[in-house]
Amino acid sequence: MKLKSRSRPGLRRVPRTTPSRNGGKPRGSQAKRPGVPLRQRLGGRLPNIRRVMAGLGAAAVAAGLTALLNGPWLRVTEVTWAGEQFTASRDIERILDRQRGTSVLAVDTRSLLERLEQLPAVQSATISASLPGHLDVAIEEHAVAFVWETSSARLLGAADGTLFAAIPRDIALDAALAELPHVADERSMSRLMTPGDHISAGLLRTAMQLARLDPVALGSTAGRISVRLDDEFGFGLVVGVSDWELALGVYGMDPNETAAASAARLERQVTAVRTLFATRDEAEIEWVDARNPGKVYFRAKG
> What is the model's pLDDT at position 2?
45
Provide the pLDDT confidence category of residue 1 given band limits of 50, 70 and 90. very low
Mean pLDDT, the chain, whole residue set: 82
Domains of the chain, CATH where assigned: 72-141 (3.10.20.310), 146-300 (3.40.50)
Provide the pLDDT confidence category of residue 197 given band limits of 50, 70 and 90. very high
Distance set, CA 178 to CA 49, 151, 265 (Å): 80, 18, 29
Among 167, 92, 196, residue whose Cα is nearest residue 137: 92
- The string of DSSP codes covering 2-28 is PPPP-PPTT--PPPP----TTTTPPTT
Chain mean position to CA 79: 20
Bridge partners for 134 per DSSP: 78, 130
Among 127, 125, 79, 119, residue whose Cα is nearest residue 101: 79
pTM for this prediction: 0.71
Chain mean position to CA 284: 55
> What is the model's pLDDT at position 134?
79
* Ranges 40-44, 79-83, 87-91, 159-163: which has the least confidence: 40-44
Helices (H) and strands (E) in the chain, counts: 7, 12
Chain mean position to CA 126: 11
> What is the model's pLDDT at position 33?
60
User: What pLDDT digit, counting tens, does each position of 93-123 carry?
Assistant: 888 888 877 776 667 788 889 999 999 999 9
Q: Are the CB atoms for 241 and 224 separated by under 8 Å?
A: yes
Among 163, 257, 248, 187, residue whose Cα is nearest residue 213: 248
Q: Is 265 helix (H, G, I), strand (E, B) or coil?
A: helix
> What is the model's pLDDT at position 60?
59
> Once rounded to an integer, what is the mean pLDDT over residues 161-176?
92
User: What pLDDT digit, counting tens, does each position of 38-86 carry?
Assistant: 555 545 555 566 665 666 666 656 655 665 555 555 777 788 889 999 9
> Once rounded to an integer, what is the mean pLDDT over residues 272-301?
92
> What is the model's pLDDT at position 19?
52
Is the pLDDT at 145 greater than 80? The verdict is: yes
For the beta sheet containing 163-167, the strands, ordered from the edge strand earlier in sequence to the opposite edge, are 163-167, 154-157, 146-149, 182-185, 225-230, 234-239, 244-249, 285-289, 297-300
Bridge partners for 78 per DSSP: 134
> What is the model's pLDDT at position 128?
85
